[in-house]
Structure 1
Amino acid sequence: MLEHPLELLGDVAVASLGDVLLLLLSTGGLALLAPSWLLLSLPTALHNALSAYGVQHDLVHHYHLGTLTGLFVAAAIGAGRLRSLTRLRQLPVYALVSVAAIVAVGVGLSVHNAVTRSIPRQAAAIELALERIPREASVAATWSLMAHLSHRVEVYSLPEPFLSAEWGTSLTTVELAERAEHVRFVVYRDIDVLPSGGYSPPEDLGTVKRLLRRLGFVEVERVGNVHVLERLGNGR
């Protein structure tokens, strides 16, 4: 960071500047009328921008909620100051608010419709794939599949128990290794990502898959993008 400040600024701009501008646009520019209140967004925005965890730069996930909250607090204060502007200065603000509203409604409807259509197909594929796993079997799965497996006695969130995760359980390395020996099934989807745990985030799923192959796991079921792996040979 200190050795290459210009390179750092360039990386931050590429990864996060566009997202921050989109969030600012979502307030219709009203947040700019209360600039001091924008400081509420600064800690979360900086934390996300400087993070090496790629998911924190993606608006799809929850990491920008703190930034968004600060922006809309500033927007609320800014809306109260709108009347103090002359009519000429109010016009661009109203125009920006209108654009933001149109974009929000249009994008929101398209995303909602796409997700609504895909959820039944995804759920059906997941349930069909999970039928391969006996109810008493120990399972490790990616986070998007945990809700379908949470009723089981022993279930782990990948990459645990095979690799430790930064926001995983409180189990020690030794305890994780002991539990990993008894995991019989692993389930993941191609589109899933894993929490960082000492390996490169862009390659984390591939890293775990290579490790699982070395441990004797083979794919026994695939439905759509849902993969079911079983440990064969030693009966664990």
Structure 2
Amino acid sequence: MSRGRRLPRPRERAARRGCCPCRATLPHLSSVFSPAAASMLLECGAAGGRVGSRRFLLFSVVGGEYRKRHRQRLHPDLRALVPSAAMTATVARRQPTPGHAGAGLWARAVLAASTVFVLVYGGLMVARHHLFYVHAFDFGIFDQGLWLLSRFQEPFVTVRGLHLFADHSSYLMLLLVPLYWVLPAQELLIVLTVVLLAAGGPLSYALARSFGATPGLSAVVAAGFLLHPALTWAARDGFHPEYAAIPLVIAAVLLIKKNHDGWALVLIAAAILTKEDAALLLVPLGIYIAVVMGRRKTGAVIAVASAAAMALSFGVLLPHFSPTGTVLYSDRYDALGTGILGIGWGMLTRPQVVLSGLLAPTSLGYLAAIVFPIPLALLAPRALILGIPTLLANVLSEHTYQSSIKYHYTAYLIAVVAIAAATGVPKLVGRSRGVITAAVVVSLGAGLGAQVWLGPTPLAPPPSWPPADRAVMREALAMIPEDTVVSAFDSFVPHLTHRTTVYEFPNPWQPLNWGAPGVTLPDTADVEWVLVRTDIYPEQQQQIDALRHSDAFEVVFEEHPVLLLHRGG
């Protein structure tokens, strides 16, 4: 080499090789960053990247941090490429984070859809209440129980003939008491139910986003959730505490994904309080969180606490409040055994009973009605396993309502398919446009089809009695004073539950859904008012005629088909 000849600089050597002029500075960057980070920095900050592009944004953020920390060590060849801190901040403000473009629009769309859900189904349910199409069972039970708790009275629900906590361990009701201090109205409980259900839409969207799904795919998950016919039937079913478990559980998984385990445990504690069988969902959820999500301590706490709460409810609390000293409703599983332990043992020792129950046509149809409306859930089979205990409890029961999506027994399964869809849909990210389009079309088509085929249509007017009947019913209802003892026809009961004693006729003369077998009916002499329709139940006509012609009661109001009796002085 001749004397005085200048050695080519790194950028010139790189240019001669035809590669990025910044590549020659990789050794210098690697002394500060990891080799992978340095390589990424140079790839994204190559000369020619226009200001404001995604490549420039990533380079400006990383490079700006490099310049701030290592100003004295900055290689001369990088000074022209690394922007100032002011430019970095300006570009970062102007440029959306990569992969999040349009996220705000999709999030607002999901929120709007959930709001529409509340307005439509909340409005329909309030209308049903005022049209006398909300029933004593089960809405009247919870409404009277909550009203009694809010007045610091023993929550013995005369609509059911049971202590509120003998029926179910729904101690979440205690947390709702302040609502009835502020506004003791049945409409509040109705709207609260719909709001809790609709909250699962934005939560399932956020959960899918947290697992890496694009905003559009996450919105498809939320749409599938809101279109699920079981959810719309839940809105029609009326208030049940276990419906609160749906948003609570989805939100808890979201918080755990975002490393807020403490707050997640608070929500799980609230979910435990919804009903004695919440562990059917929460125990497998805890195992899933420990094994699949890698949060061993949090998952273990959830599983153990849920199992302990279930044991406490079935072993101590429910028998304590029960008039018979035993757990109610266990007779629904007589084919497996007697009592909780007997049922559990029967499931282990009688596999033929379990298999026949699972493979029955009604059970398979029930399973299809749960999964088909949101097929994206099939992308996460491990999450779907969370629903097995609840599915078994429902299809093995002799109570046919449990294997229908029209009732509250499906609440936990709604949460399961929402979690499965949200955790499964990120698998579509990176797939071809055709695959993603097909998945979206199938998912939305299944949701819409299932809603039309299996769900209650919100387009039809709510069922109601004829207008003339409603006017007569309201007139008779207005004649009953507060704080009096009433026995009333089913549809009247939800309008009379804010009192200590109200019976569903023909209680207390004849037992109808009263207490538990063998429980004595209360004294009929306490009843002051009887309000019935005379055209619905022929089997009750004899009792109505006996009261009408009794010396104890006098006819205060009678206009077909309504009869109001008052106990004479």
TM-score by length of 2: 0.30
1:55 aligns with 2:401: yes
- Equivalent position of 1:179 in the other structure: 523
Q: CA RMSD in A?
A: 4.7
User: What secondary structure is seen at the aligned counterpart in 2 of 1:150?
Assistant: coil
- Residue 39 of structure 1 deviates from its aligned partner by 1.9
SS of 1:93's partner is helix
Query: Is the CA contact 1:133–1:185 (under 8 Å) kept in the aligned structure 2?
Result: no
Choose which of 474, 482, 499 in structure 2 pairs with 1:127: 474
CA contact (8 A) 2:488 2:505 kept: yes
Structure 1 residues not aligned, in runs of 5+: 192-204
Q: Which amino acid in 1 is paired with 2:376?
A: L
User: Contact (CA 8 Å) 1:128, 1:223: kept in 2 or not?
Assistant: no
Structure 2 partner of 1:163: 511
Distance 1:17 1:190 in 2: 39
Q: 1:152 to 1:81 in 2, by over 3 A?
A: same
Aligned to 2:543: 213
Identity %: 28
Task: Report Cα offsets for 1:70-90 as digits up to 9, x if no partner.
Answer: 111111111122226566765
Report which of the two structures shows the higher radius of gyration computed on alpha carbons: 2
Change (3 A) 1:92 1:38: same
Distance (whole Å) between structure 1 residues aligned to residue 413 and residue 391 of structure 2: 6
Could you give the per-residue CA deviations for residues 176-207 of structure 1, whole angstroms, max 9, x where no partner exists?
A: x233443352547999xxxxxxxxxxxxx887
Change (3 A) 1:101 1:15: closer
Count how many residue pairs are aligned between Structure 1 and Structure 2.
211
Alignment of 1:24 with 2:371, yes or no, is yes
Change (3 A) 1:64 1:88: same
Tell me whether 1:154 sits opposite 2:501 in the alignment: yes
Provide the rounded CA distance (Å) in 2 between the counterparts of 1:24 and 1:230.
Answer: 50
1:15 Cα deviation after fit: 3.3
User: Is the CA contact 1:215–1:231 (under 8 Å) kept in the aligned structure 2?
Assistant: no
Q: Which moved more, 1:149-158 or 1:62-71?
A: 149-158
Deviations 1:148-178 (A, max 9, x none): 1123452024675443747x59xx934xx23
Query: Whole-Å Cα distance in 1 between the matches of residues 388 and 547 of structure 2?
Result: 45
Gaps of 5+ in 2: 1-334, 337-349, 550-554
SS at match of 2:493: helix
Query: Counterpart of 1:75?
Result: 421
Alignment of 1:3-22 (within 5 A): 5=352, 9=356, 13-22=360-369
Q: Take 2:472 and 2:403, find their aligned partners in 1: how far apart are those partners?
A: 29
The 2-side partners of 1:117 and 1:19 are apart by 26
Cα distance in 1 for partners of 2:366, 2:381 equals 18
Query: How far apart are residue 108 of structure 1 and its match?
Result: 9.3
Per the alignment, in what secondary structure is the counterpart of residue 185 of structure 1?
strand
Q: Distance in 2 between matches of 1:12 and 1:132?
A: 54
d(CA) in 2 for partners of 1:228, 1:178:
23
Rounded to whole Å, the distance in 2 between the matches of 1:39 and 1:10 is: 18
2:381 alignment counterpart: 35
Tell me the TM-score normalised to structure 1 length.
0.61
Q: Equivalent residue of 1:113, what SS? A: coil
User: Cα gap change, 1:159/1:40 in structure 2, threshold over 3 Å: closer, same or farther?
Assistant: farther
Counterpart Cα distance in 1 of 2:360 and 2:385 = 18
Mark the CA change 1:125 to 1:98 in structure 2 (over 3 Å): closer, same or farther: farther
**Residue 429 of structure 2 corresponds to residue 99 of structure 1:** no
| Residue equivalent to 1:198 | none
Answer yes or no: is the 8 Å Cα contact 1:126–1:223 preserved in 2: no
Work out whether residues 141 and 187 of structure 1, in 8 Å CA contact, stay in contact via their aligned partners in 2. Answer: yes
Letter in 2 for 1:71: V
Residue identity opposite 2:442 in structure 1: L
What is the CA distance between 1:100 and its match in structure 2?
2.1
Mark the CA change 1:42 to 1:110 in structure 2 (over 3 Å): closer, same or farther: closer
Counterpart residue identity of residue 149, structure 1 = L
CA distance 1:182–1:100, shift in 2 (3 Å): same
The answer to whether the Cα contact below 8 Å between 2:372 and 2:450 also exists between their aligned partners in 1 is: no
Distance in 1, Cα, partners of 2:362 & 2:538: 23
